[in-house]
């Protein structure tokens, strides 16, 4: 599953959505279901990591007393 780490967010999310659709249909053999579920877990973890990384790079614009942009500070997800 090392190739998952190289996937861009959009491709990983699309593959994850495909896996969910396949599992929801319920017409996948048990062993195949387990394998694609495990891949789905890895894809979800990868997407979560990419999103966290993107959030850390976002800066929040701060306003001065006059209401005009005065600078930026790191994004705080909380």
Smallest Cα–Cα separation from 1: which of 39, 51, 44, 47? 39
pTM above 0.85, yes or no: no
- Read off the pLDDT of residues 38-68 as tens digits, 9 standing for 90 and up: 999 999 999 999 998 887 777 677 777 888 8
CB 73, CB 62: distance < 8 Å: yes
Q: Is the pLDDT of residue 1 over 60?
A: no
Q: Which pLDDT value is given to residue 15? A: 97
- Read off the pLDDT of residues 5-28 as tens digits, 9 standing for 90 and up: 999 999 999 999 999 999 999 999
Q: Which pLDDT value is given to residue 2? A: 65
Write down the H helix ranges in 1-78: 9-25, 30-57
């Amino acid at each position: 599953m090392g190739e998952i780490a190289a996937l861009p967010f959009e491709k990983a999310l699309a593959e994850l959505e495909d896996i969910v659709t396949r599992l929801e249909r319920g017409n996948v053999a048990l062993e195949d279901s387990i394998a694609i579920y495990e891949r789905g877990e890895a894809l979800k973890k990868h997407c979560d990591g990419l999103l966290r990384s993107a959030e850390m790079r976002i800066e929040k614009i701060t306003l001065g007393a006059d209401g005009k942009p005065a600078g930026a500070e790191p994004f705080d997800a909380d």
